[in-house]
Amino acid sequence: MHDIEPFWNWRHRYTAEEDELSPFFGREYSEFYFTNAVYDHAIHPQWDAFGSSTLYLKILYADYDDGFAIIELIGEWNDLLHNDIMFLKRDIMEHLMLQGVSRFILIGENVLNFHTSDQSYYEEWWEEVEDAGGWIALLNFREHVRQDIIAADIDQFFLLGGRLDKLDWRTYEPDELFVQVEQLVTKRLGV
C-alpha cells in the first residue's frame, strides 16, 4: 500500500495544502517518512489523516464557486470500531460545507473494507447537502464494499453503482468529471 499515491495529475489546478479554505491548508508532506498506516501497512505520505486510524483521504479538487469537491479515499472505512464517518463528516465535510460545497464526489477504489455502526451521521450529512441542493456520489467503490454499504442500508444517502462505478475519472479534468457525475446524478434524481 505504501506505493499507492493519491491521484496527482490535477495538482497544477489545485492542492489542498495551498488552499486557504481547505482543512489541510499549510500541511507539509514528506516524500521519505511514512508515518501513517492502515493497520500494519504503511501508506504513502501524501495521504491526509483526519482522525481515523484506518481511513485516509486526499482532497483532489475543491471548487467553492461551483460548490463541489472531489475526494479520493484509501484504507478501511470502519465506523464500528473507529467511528470514521463522525471524523469524516465533522472534520472534513462540515468544513467544506461551510465554504459552500454541497456536492461531493468520493472516489473509493482504494477503500478495502467497510464496517458500519449506525446511520445517524450519514443521515445528517445527507440532509444537510440535500437542503443545499447537493448530493454525495460514490465512484468506483469495490463491489464487496458497495454491497456492505447496501447491506447496512446507508446506500439511501449516496448515489452509487451503475455508470458511477465504471467512470474512467482519471481521463477527465476535475470540472469535466464534475459535469459527467452531475449528469448521472441528475438523471437518477429525476431533477
Domains, the chain, ordered by start:
49-189 (3.30.750.24)
Q: How confident is the model at residue 190 (pLDDT cuts 50, 70, 90)?
A: low
User: What is the reported pLDDT for 2?
Assistant: 67
Q: Which residues touch 82 (CB under 8 Å, ≥6 apart)?
A: 52, 53, 54, 55
> What's the whole-model pTM score?
0.94
User: What is the reported pLDDT for 118?
Assistant: 87
**Which pLDDT tens digit goes with each residue over 102-150?**
999 999 999 999 998 889 999 999 999 999 999 999 999 999 999 999 9
Mean pLDDT of 51-67: 96
Q: 3-state class of 79 per DSSP?
A: helix
110 and 73 Cβ atoms separated by less than 8 Å: yes
94 and 104 Cβ atoms separated by less than 8 Å: no
Could you tell me the three cell numbers for 186? 441528475
Q: How confident is the model at residue 39 (pLDDT cuts 50, 70, 90)?
A: confident
User: What is the reported pLDDT for 1?
Assistant: 59
